[in-house]
Structure 1
Amino acid sequence: MYIPIVLAAYWYPRHGVVFSIALSLGYLATALLIFEGGAEQIVSVVARAAVYVAIGAVVSLLSFRLREQEERYRGIFDNSEAGTLIIAPDDGTRIEEVNYVGATLLGSTIRGLIREPITRFIDDPETWDEFVAKIRRDGAAYGYETTLRRIDGSAVRALVSGGRLPGGRFVLTLIDITARKNAEDALREANARLNMLGRLTRNDLMAAVFGLLSRIAEGTRQFDDPAVRQYINSLEEDARLVQRRAEITRDYQDLGLRPPEWQPLQRVIREVVSCLLLPGISVRSWVERLEIFADPKLDQVFSNLIENAFRHGKTVSQIVITYQIQEDGLSIYIEDDGVGIPEADKEKIFAYGFGTDGGLGLFLVREILAITGMTIQETGTPGEGARFVIHVPPDGYRIV
């Protein structure tokens, strides 16, 4: 009696309870008609019939839940926008299952990939070995960029992640990033060309300014008229302003050319301070273990801020750099004890060409920080010192 109930409840879970009830009622009727006995025997027969129904209900419920879970995960597997593969446990390379996106990404069909070695499609064996070793060691590996070779030999750039499954299997997810990488390469190439054009233009401009300054110096020697001298001096001032701006932009010609990266802030500040001449000024930074996701020109940000404090702070004797974690991210404070910045100039100092020397330092500081979503403002008290606050978004910092 148990075998048909279990089989029926397992294969037809929606009708398993009904089948077990019907079978139990048949057993109960047959037993009561055939057997003659007292109340004790009747109770025994009824109890056994109830057990049949209970077994059918439990098996039906478990089978229904099992199939529901299987359908759910099968739907995720088949309909995922990422290519998904199950690797068999025998030698750790054979494809056991693959969804449509994965088969398309590898340039084949689902049936054509079953039992094929995944290593056939890997263009970088060393990266694959490292990836598999990490899965077996840590249980999962994420975000490995690699190049795959399709059946026809064409290359596709993919982001590969994987995890260990019971029974020695592991699952792979493949995301095609060929278009994104091609766009990044094209953008990088365009930036390189624009930077080269800017470099050539700046060199031509510097040569023209040098020639202009030479002619101005010659005119100064030739003319003694005060009005002419005054006019020539104004021309020289304008020419040197152009020269200074061209020299400043040289330091930022590669801005945005390389991708942002995680940078340990304490080391960045230490290297910046070691390259600056700051007589009589103490620079103390309390940013150990803090890393910032920023453009590689991050050192120029702190170089400008520290150098500006030295040049314009007048009475600066110390610069202190600290940070504080906020609800909406993290704030980095660069404070000095100089004369501070007037209220009317707190926003103007970040404008293009602000200042007596036409510098671009703080303008470019803001631009460098903006590449990775950071902002900067000045919140110091005039007469007590400058205080620059760099706000870092929540995903732009980490404590290591």
Structure 2
Amino acid sequence: MVFVAIGAVVSLLSLRLREQEQRYRGVFDNSEAGTFIVAPENAGPRIEEVNYVGAALLGSTTKDLIGEPITRFLDDPGAWRDFQVKVRPDKAVYGYEAALRRPDGVAVQVIVSGGRLPDGRIILTLVDITARKSAEDALRQANTKLNIMGRLTRNDLMSAVSGLLRRISEGMGEFDDPAVRRYLESLEEDARFVQRRAEITRDYQDLGLRPPGWQPLQEVIREVMSCLLLPGVSVRSWVERLEVFADPMLDRVYVNLIENSARHGETVSEVVITYQLRDDGLVIYVEDDGVGVPEAEKEKIFEYRVDGGGGLGLFLVREILSITGMTIQETGRPGEGARFEIHVPPDGYRLI
């Protein structure tokens, strides 16, 4: 009777193991990503198992790939060493970009994710991003050409404005009639406005041209403060260990916010930068002790208006942040100081 019971338990366990194996095999074979199991042998890492999508990605068949060294298909064989270091028993790797080279010479760009199995083997999933990378390259080239055209147009505009200002100055010295002088002064004001706008577009001509990346916020603010002259205003930042995923022009965000406090806060003596974790991400606070922003102006300060009534600097701040999904709003109390809140999405920050 005991042996019968043991036999029943063994049969039941064997059945469940077969069911689990079939389930995992179905996931492996039918995955929409190329999936590989790589054995780290002494002679080099070799492909032990691969699904149909993975074989098609490498321009081969599952049968022909078994036993092949994975490094044979890497455009840079050293990339495997780098990836292997990142894959530890307690940590998987996600979003690792690599270039593959198929036997027919065709290059394939992929995103690789992987983890180490209990027996030491490595399981990999590869997603083809060749089309996306090609589109990004084409868009980058188009942006570069548009940037060149914008630079040439801006240079022509600046030259024309400089010539106009020179003629206005000559006219101011030639005419004494008050009406004519008022007219020339109004023309000079308009020309100066165009000149300032052109200078700002020069500063932001590379917006969105380079890919975003992880940036240590404390270091960004430290570099910003090394370039600003703010007599009578102290800036304190408490954002150590915080990195945000942002456009390379993130420094211009804090230049504008800090300068905005110093220029418009009237009684500002201190700017404080902190952050707070929330369920929906993270919020960065930029606060000052000035006069604050009137309720009716809280949204208008971010608007771009042709007549110059809006704040172009804060308009561009919002644009820079929006590239990586961040938002900004002013939430301070009038009379108690300005308070800018920058919301960072959950995948847009990390604490190191």
**Match for residue 367 of structure 1?**
319
TM-score by length of 1: 0.82
**Closer, same or farther: CA 79–379 of 1 in aligned 2, 3 Å:** same
Deviation track 1:318-355 (CA, whole Å, cap 9, x = no partner) reads 11112222222222221112222222211111111489
2:24 is matched with: 73
- Give, in whole Å, the separation in 2 of the partners of 1:343 and 1:170: 58
* Residue pair 1:149, 1:155 contacting (<8 A) in 2 also: yes
Q: Do structure 1's residue 57 and structure 2's residue 8 form an aligned pair?
A: yes
Distance 1:275 1:355, change over 3 A: farther
SS of corresponding position for 1:324: strand
Post-superposition offset of 1:60? 2.0
What secondary structure sits across from 1:377 in the alignment? Answer: strand
Contact 2:274 2:286 in 1 (8 A): yes
CA distance in 2 between counterparts of 1:167 and 1:315 reads: 66
The 5 Å alignment of 1:223-302 reads 223-302=175-254
| Deviations 1:91-148 (CA, angstroms, capped at 9, x unpaired) | 3422222110011000011122122222221110111122234436766443321111
**Mean Cα deviation higher: 319-328 or 197-206:** 319-328
Matches within 5 A, 1:1-400: 50-90=1-41, 91-135=43-87, 140-353=92-305, 359-400=311-352
CA distance in 2: counterparts of 1:79 and 1:332, whole angstroms: 43
**CA 1:210–1:324: 2 relative to 1, 3 Å:** same
TM-score by length of 2: 0.93
Question: Which structure 2 segments of 5+ residues have no match?
Answer: none
Q: CA deviation at 1:388?
A: 1.4
Equivalent residues, number = 351
- Output one character per residue of 1:297-328: Cα deviation in whole Å (capped at 9) or x when no partner: 11111111111111111211111112222222
SS in structure 2 of the partner of residue 94 of structure 1: strand
Higher Rg: 1
- Which protein has the bigger helix share? 1
Cα distance in 2, alignment partners of residues 72 and 321 from structure 1: 51
- Confirm or deny: 8 A CA contact 2:302 2:311 kept in the other structure: no
**292 and 168 in structure 1: CA distance in 2 versus 1, 3 angstrom threshold:** closer
CA 1:397 to 1:133, structure 2 compared with 1: closer, same or farther past 3 Å? closer
Change (3 A) 1:199 1:163: same
In the aligned structure 1, how far is the partner of 2:93 from the partner of 2:184?
Answer: 68
Q: Deviations over 1:268-325 (max 9, x none)?
A: 1111111111111111111112211111111111111111111111211111112222
How many angstroms apart in 1 are the aligned matches of 2:328 and 2:295? 16
Taking the aligned partners of 1:349 and 1:89, their CA distance within structure 2 comes to 59
User: Which runs of 5 or more structure 1 residues have no equivalent in the other structure?
Assistant: 1-49
Measure the CA separation in 2 of the matches of 1:374 and 1:136: 32
- The one-letter code matched in structure 2 to 1:395 is D
CA distance in 1, matches of 2:306, 2:254: 19
Structure 1 runs, 4 residues or longer, greater than 6 Å off = 354-358
What is the CA-CA distance between 1:168 and the residue it aligns to?
Answer: 4.2
Alignment CA distance shift 1:288-1:358 (3 Å): same
Distance 1:384 1:158 in 2: 52
8 Å contact from structure 2 (residues 332, 338) kept in 1: yes
Partner AA of 1:213 in structure 2: L
Give the CA deviation at 1:86: 2.1
How far does residue 162 in structure 1 lie from its aligned partner after superposition? Answer: 2.6
Distance 1:67 1:386 in 2: 65
Distance 1:274 1:342, change over 3 A: same
Query: In structure 2, what is the Cα distance between the partners aligned to 1:232 and 1:358?
Result: 25
Cα deviation, residue 75, structure 1: 0.4
Please provide the CA RMSD for this pair: 2.0
Corresponding letter in the other structure for 1:75:
G
Deviation at 1:185, TM superposition (A): 1.4
CA shift for structure 1 position 156: 0.5
Q: Aligned partners of 1:392 and 1:100: how far apart in 2? A: 39
Instruction: Work out whether residues 248 and 359 of structure 1, in 8 Å CA contact, stay in contact via their aligned partners in 2.
Output: no
